[in-house]
Amino acid sequence: MTVAVTSPALGKTPMSKGAVGGPIFIGGPDRCGKTTLQAFLVSHPNIWISAVGSNMWTYFYDRYGYLGKPANFERCLRAMLHYKHVKFLQPDADRIRRDFACGEATYARLFALFQQHCAERAGKPRWGDQTGLVERYAGQILAAYPGAKILHMVRDPRDRYEASISLWPKGKGRAGGATARWLYSVRLAKRNLQRFPDSYMIVQFEKLIGETEKTLRRVCEFLEEEFTPAMLTMEGAPAFRDALEKNAKGATRHSPLSTDFIGGFRSKINKRELHFMQLYAGREMQEFGYQLEPIRFSAGDWLFFSLFDFPANLARKLAWRGVEAAQQAFPRLVPRPISSGKVVRA
């Protein structure tokens, strides 16, 4: 069975002119197309979404206690202002303090102020955010923001892994961690789509590339916005569009995407890692329409896989899932660490 790229929310009519919908969140693991979708959406006249994921929910949600206490609020705000992804939004700290004092003392409201101020400066009525694995917080987000919509990007885990190690070749998780992350994300996608059918939509990266206009029209219908042709050429994200055109054969000004982004794993991922990924994620991959690659091992390959690759990647898979569970359940006791390179020192 193939998981549908859309949700039952489709079929609604676009909002009337002048109406403003709720915020838009783009989720999914790293290297799955979130920034690509952001570039399309920010080219819409009504929508502002930062090109850099804020990761506010990931690193700051529920970490500093009740924000109605001034000391807790200041600790949280200070930490956020020292995080490079938040600094990218060019926040006005004094305005945030003033505006926050005028309403509910919640994390969701604090996070929204950063994004709302940016959207105002851009002259756009509707704000959004892209954050890796923000699907963890779907329930909290949809409860906090009336009319919010979540777009969940899904990509073939083998291509996602190939893109990830190309960018971070020294990554420690390897195929085991990549498999755990992808399974965690797509299982949340299916669960959230069942729980929130009118507010949640799965968008497959391959459909975005192969059926760009059709997919964007479906996305706009889900968001209750009018589709505009400017989205197709990423007019609102020229730097990202130019980078895509430079790095992909077959891309043109009419369409900056290329099928070069699909199937690259076949020549770049070794077959022992592919076998591990398909062994543990094969069922979910087929649900999303990703065909499994035939793997042929020699006797030596089987021995190496059994003695080294399999136990090492299984340990990485279990370790990633265990750490994720602890961090999600106990954000104050087991906070997600921010890498030193992403922290702005005073």
Q: Tell me how many degrees the CA angle 164-118-23 measures, rounded to the nearest 5.
A: 70
- For residues 56, 60, 65, 70, the Cα torsion angle rounded to the nearest 10 degrees is -70
> For position 305, what pLDDT does the model report?
94
Q: What is the pLDDT of residues 140-155, one digit of tens each?
A: 999 999 999 999 999 9
> For position 290, what pLDDT does the model report?
97
CATH level 2 (architecture), domain 24-342: 3-Layer(aba) Sandwich (3.40)
Q: How far is CA 187 from the centre of its chain?
A: 14
Classify residue 73 as exposed, middle or buried by CB count within 10 Å of its CB (0-12, 13-18, 19+). buried
Tally of helices (H runs) and strands (E runs) in the chain: 16, 5
Q: Determine the residue type at 286.
A: Q
> For position 255, what pLDDT does the model report?
59
Q: Give the residue extent of every domain in the chain.
A: 24-342
Report how far residue 47's alpha carbon sits from residue 78's, in angstroms, rounded to the nearest whole number: 28
Report how far residue 58's alpha carbon sits from residue 61's, in angstroms, rounded to the nearest whole number: 7
Beta-bridge mates of residue 150: 25, 200
- Residue 128's SS3 state is strand
Closest CA to 148 of 192, 82, 84: 192
Q: What is the pLDDT of residues 190-230, one digit of tens each?
A: 999 999 999 999 999 999 999 999 999 999 999 999 999 99
Q: How far is CA 128 from the centre of its chain?
A: 12
> For position 10, what pLDDT does the model report?
38
For the chain, residues with pLDDT lower than 50 are: 1-13, 16, 252-253
What pTM did the predictor assign?
0.91
Report how far residue 339's alpha carbon sits from residue 205's, in angstroms, rounded to the nearest whole number: 28
- Please name the residue that has the structure tokens 């073939």: 156
Q: Tell me how many degrees the CA angle 34-23-130 measures, rounded to the nearest 5.
A: 20
**Is-contact 22 145, C-beta < 8 A?**
yes
Report how far residue 24's alpha carbon sits from residue 219's, in angstroms, rounded to the nearest whole number: 11
- Please name the residue that has the structure tokens 């926050």: 100
> For position 69, what pLDDT does the model report?
98
Classify residue 125 as exposed, middle or buried by CB count within 10 Å of its CB (0-12, 13-18, 19+). middle
> For position 166, what pLDDT does the model report?
83
Tell me the H-state helices in 145-289. 157-167, 174-195, 205-210, 212-223, 238-247, 265-268, 271-287
- Rounded to 5 degrees, φ, ψ at 129 are -155, 145
